[in-house]
Structures are given as structure tokens and as C-alpha cells.
Amino acid sequence: MKLIHFDDVPLETVSIEGAKNVKLRWLISDKDNAPNFALRMFELEAGGFTPFHTHNWEHEVFVIQGTGILVTEDGEKDFQQWDVIYTDPNIYHQFKNSGDSMLRFLCAIPIDSYLKPQKQSTKNPLGDEPENNC
């Protein structure tokens, strides 16, 4: 069992190529003995974005704070606080901060996506570190 405030979880820089001004916190993961999925918080400063990329696992996202743009091959969609976003496996996606302040969102992924990564299914034109990304 774990009960912790979000800002007591270490904030790590996302250094993958194609990302700008992105940090994340691994709120719950296999290190807590979670058996199935990990819950992360992403923090994108104004002007920040994740890379436009794809992989063979899903994202389940909830927007905590701020505004952003979801980019897929179907175009761009604005999102706001308390929006819910589901991206299917194998679709290209990118999250951008569209506001003047911090964008924070939760993003849950299967633990197998990083403990048993299938690199051949990751298509990021700019990098190959899928587990530390959204």
C-alpha cells in the first residue's frame, strides 16, 4: 500500500529526442509491486511537447491542469483540464502544451510495455526510448 502526495514523487526529465520541456513522475509502477500497469504524471512547461511517435501499447490519459493539443494522423484536437484521452495501440500521437502555464496529465501504460519492450514495434523517428515517454 502506498499513499503519497504527487510532488513527493521524483520529477525526472524526459530526454528522448523530439521531446521539449517535458518531465514525468512515476506515481505508481512495478517498483511498488503493481502487477499490471503504471501510472505516471507528465509535466509540460509552456511550449513543451512530447514526440510524434507510435508504439504497440495504449495510453489512458486524464488531464489534471492546463490546456493542450493532441496530435494524431487525423489532425489536432484541443484538450483541457479534466478531459479524458484514450490513444489506441499503434496510432501516432503527440501531446503539446497550448497554454502559458504548466500542463499536467496522468498517463497510464501497461507495465509489460517497459519491462518487456518490443523495440521493433516502436516507431519514433527521433528516438527509441518508449518507456520514458507519452
Chain positions contacting its own copies, by CB under 8 A: 1-7, 9, 27-28, 32-37, 39, 58, 60, 62, 64, 70, 72, 74, 77, 79-80, 82-89, 91, 93, 106, 108, 110
Residue 1 CB contacts under 8 Å (≥ 6 apart), including other chains: none
- Report residue 51 CA to chain centroid gap: 10
CB of 124 to its own copies, least distance (A): 18
Q: How far apart are CA 71 and CA 134, in angstroms?
A: 12
Least spacing, CB of residue 61 vs its own copies, in Å: 9
What lies within 8 Å, CB to CB, of 75 at 6+ separation is: none
Comparing CB distances to its own copies, the nearer of 39 and 132 is 39
